[in-house]
Amino acid sequence: MSFDERGGAPVSRPSTTEGREAASREPADGERANAGRRVTLFGWAGFEGFSAAGTGLGRGGAGRVSVGTVLLGLVVPGVLLLVWLLASELTPIPDYLLPSPAQVVGAGVELANQGLLGTYILISLQRVLLGFAIGASIGLALGAVVGLSGVADRMLAPTLGAIRAVPSLAWLPLLTVFLGIFETPKITLIAIGAAFPVYTTVSAALRHVDPHLVEAGRAFGLGRLALLTTVQLPAVVPSVISGLRLALAQAWLFLVAAELLASSMGLGFLLTDSANNGRTDRIFLAILLLAILGKTSDALVGLGERALLKRWS
Amino acid sequence: MKRMTSTAIAPAQMTPALPVSLNGVGRSFPGAPGEPERLVLRDVELKIAPGEIVALLGPSGCGKSTLLRQISGLDRPTSGTLTIDGTRIAAADQRCAVAFQEPRLLPWRTVARNIELGLPRGTDRAVGRARVAQLLELVQLSHAADLKPRQISGGMAQRVSLARALARNPGVLLLDEPFGALDALTRLTMQDLLVDIHRAEPTTIVLVTHDVDEALTLADRIVLLGTRFDRPGATISRILEVPGTRPRDRASTVLARLRAQLLDALGVPSHHDR
């Protein structure tokens, strides 16, 4: 596996608001709704935990995101920053419990000067992207097989459901024993996390492709494979995208899980390392970085999704 | 783009119209658990000549569409055999093309790309493009080639569906109430269009309809499907030759008499003054 520390495009973490909107565009069946709820098992990225007000990015044809919308969305972070600033300056809470914003920025600059900040961010991004790419591909393949074949559905779905029910952290000891402590177990864990949202949404969506369109394709001489690429896959593109966004959120979750427990680099490592050394400022920094990275990249993915859906319907 | 002008090559590459033969065709569907199977069609005997237009007429739910699906090979009969040009019909037989009751266009493809779907597999790109352009002209949609299905009207969508079915120069063109969902005026226009298309590309056409006037306007023969009160399963109850050549005078007295007969046979009072 390559170990190139130059990361790719930013990735999204809590894309759940858009995820829900995407899901509500199509009739969600039980399976589908489960795909969403599943995420809540792993903590803070639950469907229900995020405001439905959102940014409207996932809504097809909801119009452009205006400057006003962006400013409105910045109100709460601005207020929070102010409260944080005031709390750290005016209350007797000691710095080692509540560092000031300036101290957190200072911690970032310090890490950057040591050459660690960029490394940590890039290694985390690399793990997320690799794990996501592998997991999403496997999820897509499994989802296609289960969604298209009744036999495969009956044969594989129960097993896959059971594997999906295993909490993320339960895999980690086993993966460490099997695969060592370097990149492979982490990426494998992230791939496991990313595979299931894609698998669930894709298989459910494929089962519900308009049978009329499929029959029309068959009537015009499309074989199984051609039918898949010409009719069925394009028909589930919107679902695939929402599955991919959920998978990205999962990838970040599993990344932090993997890095918290066994790593010497990355944002999750920064969290544990700082906790062990009492560096609250660095903990704040890591959390802020995760939030900013996640939200920014989520917005980018949302823009891509919108462009694609526009072309696609 | 140069080849777009080559409308003249079409007849040369055209598949000849093919004869269809139905021998004792029957179709039954398994009933709900614990119930006997449901016989929809029985003993359908019909020979359709190449280039002929046959209308399958009957009340709703009498099995017209089921019969059409047998010819297309999208469904298999439980008894009897069907042949096109003397050979058994295959699953989704590629000598046929179907235009369904709904347009069934792929929403993410443009009008032109939807028509492309109807081309035979492995058609040369340039040839395909020329054929699509020609068909767009035939159904008068050249201006809409790059629109998506959601941007066009129901009548336009049905014309796209028709063009898609014609794209492969089918030996047999199967139309399942293709104009049923259109408003009355658009339907008349579409019927005239179909007459023009048949003159330009005279293939065998089997048309399912419950519209007596549509059958009279378009068909050479009208095949009435019906169920006898004492037996389950619809079969051919009558076959009528429609006199005259297309385009027919919709107000012709001969047709008015036939209309009355057909309506009578369908159990609808015609109020025709004989």
**Residue B273 located in a structural domain:** no
pLDDT of residue A62: 45
Residue with more model confidence, A122 or A37: A122
Where do runs of H (alpha helix) occur along chain A?
Answer: 16-25, 30-40, 67-90, 101-113, 116-148, 150-164, 168-179, 183-207, 211-219, 224-227, 233-235, 237-261, 267-276, 280-312
B50 falls within a domain: yes
CATH number for position B158: 3.40.50.300
Give the closest-approach CA distance of A111 to chain B in angstroms: 49
- Select the residue of A212, A221, A234 nearest B104 (Cβ to Cβ): A212
Residues 6+ apart with CB under 8 A from B274: B257, B260
Q: What is the ipTM of this complex?
A: 0.84
pLDDT on residue B131: 92
Measured between CA atoms, the residue of chain A closest to residue B119 is A220
Q: What pLDDT does residue A313 have?
A: 62
Distance from CA of B69 to the nearest CA of A (A): 10
Q: A221 touching B, CB under 8 A?
A: yes
Query: Using CB atoms within 10 A of its CB, is residue B95 exposed (0-12), middle (13-18) or buried (19+)?
Result: buried
Q: Which structural domain range is residue B20 located in?
A: 2-265
Residue B88 belongs to a domain = yes
B98 neighbourhood in chain A, CB within 8 Å? 216, 219
Give the number of A-B residue pairs with CB atoms closer than 8 Å.
46
pLDDT band, very low/low/confident/very high, at A4 (cuts 50, 70, 90): very low
Judge: A220–B74 Cβ closer than 8 Å, yes or no: no
Q: Would you call A226 an interface residue with chain B, using a CB distance cutoff of 8 Å?
A: yes
CA pair distance A147, A142, nearest whole angstrom:
8
- Per-residue confidence (pLDDT) for residue A178, from 0 to 100: 86
Question: Does some domain include residue B270?
Answer: no
With respect to residue B156, please indicate whether it lies within any of the assigned structural domains. yes
Quick one: average pLDDT of A6-11?
38
B117/chain A closest Cα distance in angstroms: 7
Distance separating alpha carbons of residues A285 and A267, to the nearest angstrom: 9
What's the pLDDT at A225?
86
CATH class of the domain whose range is A16-312? mainly alpha
For β-strands B53-57 and B221-226, DSSP reports them as: parallel
Question: How many helices and strands in chain B, by DSSP H and E?
Answer: 8, 10
A212 to chain B, any CB pair closer than 8 A? The answer is yes
How far is the alpha carbon of A212 from chain B, nearest alpha carbon, in Å? 7
The nearest alpha carbon in chain A to B170 belongs to A220
Confidence check: pLDDT of A190 > 60: yes
Q: What's phi and psi for A146, nearest 5 deg?
A: -70, -35
Tell whether omega for the bond before B247 is within 30 degrees of 0, i.e. cis.
Answer: yes
CB contact under 8 Å between B121 and A230, yes or no, is no
pLDDT confidence of A214, banded at 50, 70, 90? very high
**Tens-place pLDDT, residues A254-305:** 888 888 877 788 888 888 888 888 888 899 999 999 888 888 777 777 888 8
Segment A212-231 mean pLDDT: 90
Residue A58, pLDDT > 90, answer no
pLDDT in 10s for each residue of chain B, 274 residues:
434 443 433 443 566 899 999 999 999 998 888 888 889 999 999 999 999 999 999 888 888 999 999 999 999 999 999 999 999 998 888 899 999 999 999 999 999 999 999 998 888 999 999 999 999 988 889 999 999 999 999 889 999 999 999 998 899 999 999 888 888 888 898 899 899 889 988 999 999 998 899 999 999 999 999 888 788 889 999 999 998 888 888 888 888 899 998 998 888 887 876 5
Instruction: Identify which of A213, A215, A313 has the shortest CB distance to residue B74.
Output: A215
Number of structural domains (chain B) is: 1
Round to whole Å and give the CA distance between B163 and B56. 21
Cα torsion angle, B86, B87, B88, B91, sign: negative
From the list A217, A221, A313, the residue facing B107 with the nearest CB is: A313
Nearest to B94 among A217, A221, A234 (CB): A221
The per-residue pLDDT for A28 is 38
Query: What residues of B are in contact with residue A239 (Cβ under 8 Å)?
Result: none
Q: Which helix (H) or strand (E) holds B46?
A: strand B38-48
Q: What is the mean pLDDT of chain A?
A: 77
Find out whether B166 and B98 touch, Cβ atoms under 8 Å: no
Gap between the Cα atoms of A170 and A42, Å rounded: 12
What is the per-residue pLDDT across A100-116, written as a single tens digit (0 to 9) for each? 888 889 989 988 999 88
**How much is the pLDDT for A239?**
86
Gap from A221 CA to chain B (nearest CA, Å): 6
Residue among B104, B148, B150 whose CB faces A216 most closely: B104
* A234 interfacial to chain B (CB closer than 8 Å): yes
**What mean pLDDT comes out for the span A227-247?**
88
